A and B are shown apart, each in its own frame.
Chain A
Amino acid sequence: MGTSTLLTSSTTLIYLTASILYLAAMIGKKTKAGRLGRWFLLVGVIVHAGSFAVLHSRVGGTPVTSLQESLSFFAWCLVLLYLLLELRFRLSVMGSFAAPLAFVLMVASALSPNVVVQLNPLFKSWLFPVHITLAFLGNAAFALSFGAGIMYLVQNRMLKSKHFTGIFQLLPSLDTLDKVNYTCLSVGFPLMTLGIISGAFWANTAWGSYWSWDPKETWALITWFLYAALLHGRLSAGWRGRTAALFSIIAFMFLLFTFLGVNLLLSGYHTFEAFAVN
């Protein structure tokens, strides 16, 4: 087992432990478990970063060129952003969404075909890691806003129907969930925008064209418009609460398709095969 594999496996185990702790904190109402979960995530994100560093030195470029690596990198971004979010809002209940999601992403990554490609020199440009990191951090922020959106809808439904089950006590207030949703959107949107712009610049240096209507580009643009509409709605039309939560959930569905569906189902230079030397 290579060093990076060992580090990745350890990360998966750490994320699993953190997930169990966060879920125990939520179901069993054990605040200590939640705090411990946070520490595990912190260690996890560091070990995970170590695995990327090792992989980077081995392939001599950004190690996000296969589905396996992409899923893993997405998990890392998600955990990183979640930890920052928890620092800001002290919402360990969100951890019971973020940690298991990171674990599932790691498992999905481990189950994806391990394609070791000889990286096309085009991908060794400094713009590529910038583009990838911004795009993935943006995606992670939107995943968290999706989580907050779901929690908002559950809480809203309980308050409206006046049926309070166990989870009611655990969920934060509507106000907090709406703030989290908005914070994630306002962090995710600029990241996504910069991700697209840096991607366009990199495409220009690689292929001599900023934009070539590749399916990924098209879907990314659609998703960007959706999030732009949501941000606009929030800032100017007073969208908030349920409407904003629903919109962020729908937009995330589009984002998921852009991230996974396009790479797996459609062809273009964003498919993983395209990263290899022809």
Chain B
Amino acid sequence: MNIIVVGLSHKTAPVEIREKVAFPPTAMAAPLAQMQALPAIAEAVIVSTCNRVELYAATRTPEAGIVELKAFLAHYHQLEQVALDPHLYHYEGEAAMQHVMRVAASLDSMVIGEPQILGQIKTAYGYATEFKTAGTILNRFLHKAFSVAKRVRNETEIASHAVSVSFAAVELARKIFDSLENKTVMLIGAGEMCELAAKHFVNNGVSKVLVTNRTFSRAEKLAEEFSGTAVNFDDFQEQLHRADIVLSSTGAPDYVLTAKKLKDVIKLRRYKPMFLIDIAVPRDIDPAANRLESIYLYDVDDLQGVVEANLKERQKEAVKAEAIIAGEVQQFQSWLATLEVKPTIVALRRQLEQVRQLEMEKTLSGLSHLGEKERKAIDAMTAAIVNKILHHPTSILKQASTSDDGNLYLDAVRTLFDLPEPAGETTDSVKPNRRS
């Protein structure tokens, strides 16, 4: 049994294409059932997010499976397959496992390390279990992918560096104030970016918001949004000492806050630290203020610099994550291989046991004078012979299953002992619905 993936993402398809092939979460039953009904497909999971649409499947015939999935995707969305094909990628076997684990660990995301994707795959898997299209292979594999994503999160720092300007500001504030609770933020101007940054601060515990703007009504409106207080623009400098964090984004051509003014403010605050974020271009706050004790002034470029450095840091962590994934893929591949060899071993044992029982019956029927004790001894002895004979070939088969020539050994054993094709264990359990 093999795992295959067919899909497209922000890396291979523009949004116009992505939106056409998206599967609405409210109607997953039909596409999942149709996908699983494809001749080559045993198990099915559909992942559909705004950045990617991916079909995960378990199959005995990867090549046919990939062709069927591509055709299904085009057909289901009533698109020309020729138009869709250039945007599609496909993976099978180890490459497919590696891809899914990378996606789950957010290594393939637009912003590496963003946490949403794992939740989205979990939801997709939830639908597959609800509609019973995921079986032994995908169940086990996706649980593995989730645990790998968790490992990546715990063992690397892939998600611990803020990669948006607003979050970088919050992260820096935590390096100054520790906790943002009971802190006051003042918004000078009511720009969109300023508002967004303020939202992040409020979401991270800032309790008090003061808003000032040249148009007082706008300040009042914004203050209301944060359950804060509007401050008259003419008075705001007198109120400034109350603010621990200042976000400034006016359209003023000159500095709204001079270093001299801030020197007085910080004195008034008895040198309690102040974090100033100047989002305006041209700048609102005199850069010289950063030289004053207990004042930490960041402009847009500074924050952008932090974001870029953090992105680089995430890239570095991604290398560690890739190593974790490589190891896990190998492990899963081994499990899958032992799954393949298991039915053959079971069949081999069953066949030899049948031979033993048959020969035992024949022999013992001619030895009626033997007592129960003797019969049991002969039974134990023959069972031991069979076990001893099987021990070595079984372990060789198990070992070979994880190597490239595993199938060669399996075929040889099946031919030599005339065993049936292993339609049994794995296939039966992974196709519960198709046959029902």
Which residues of A are interface residues toward B (Cβ below 8 A)?
Answer: 29, 155, 159-160, 162, 164, 168-169, 171-176, 238-243
Contact = CB atoms under 8 A, between A and B. Distances in A.
**Interface-centre pick from B160, B172, B175, B179 (highest chain A CB count, 10 A):** B175
Chain B: interface residue count, which band?
A: 20 to 34
A5 B237 CA distance: 66
B178 A29 contact: no
Contacts of A169: 157, 160
Contacts of A238: 270-271
A154 to B, nearest CB: 12
A173 B271 contact: no
A164 to B, nearest CB: 6
Contacts of B293: 241-243
A242 B293 CA distance: 7
Given A172-B178, A175-B176, A241-B293, A162 B306 contact: yes
Interface of B: 157, 160, 172, 174-179, 270-273, 290-291, 293-294, 296, 298, 302, 305-306, 309
Nearest to B310: A164
B273 A29 contact: no
A159 B294 contact: no
Given A159-B172, A162-B305, A240-B272, A173 B294 contact: no
B306 A173 contact: no
Contacts of A174: 175-177, 273
Contact of B298 (A162, A171, A241): A162
Contacts of B306: 162, 164
B305 A173 contact: no
A160 B288 CA distance: 11
11 contacts: A29-B157, A159-B172, A159-B176, A160-B290, A169-B157, A173-B178, A174-B176, A174-B273, A175-B176, A175-B178, A242-B293
A174 B294 CA distance: 10
Given A159-B176, A241-B293, A164 B309 contact: yes
Nearest to A178: B273
Given A160-B296, A162-B302, A173 B176 contact: yes
B218 to A, nearest CB: 31
A173 B174 contact: yes
B294 A155 contact: no
Contacts of B177: 173-175
A31 to B, nearest CB: 10
A243 B294 CA distance: 10
A162 B291 CA distance: 12
A159 B270 contact: no
Top 6 A-B pairs ranked by shortest CB distance? A238-B270, A173-B178, A175-B178, A176-B178, A175-B177, A162-B302
Given A160-B290, A162-B298, A240 B271 contact: yes
B273 A241 contact: yes
B319 to A, nearest CB: 16
A175 B273 contact: yes
A29 B273 CA distance: 28
B334 to A, nearest CB: 28
Given A162-B302, A174-B273, A241 B175 contact: no
B277 to A, nearest CB: 12
Nearest to B270: A238
A175 B173 CA distance: 10
Nearest to A241: B294
Contacts of B175: 155, 159, 168, 171, 173-174
A39 to B, nearest CB: 22
A173 B180 CA distance: 11
Contacts of B271: 238-241, 243
Nearest to B290: A160
A240 B294 CA distance: 9
A162 B303 CA distance: 9
B286 to A, nearest CB: 15
Contacts of B309: 164
A242 B271 CA distance: 10
Nearest to A179: B178
A276 B298 CA distance: 62
A162 B293 CA distance: 15
Given A162-B305, A240-B270, 8 more contacts: A169-B160, A173-B175, A174-B176, A239-B271, A240-B294, A241-B271, A241-B294, A243-B271
Nearest to A173: B178
A174 B293 CA distance: 13
A240 to B, nearest CB: 5
Nearest to B292: A160
A44 B296 CA distance: 41
Nearest to B302: A162
B28 to A, nearest CB: 40
Contacts of B172: 159
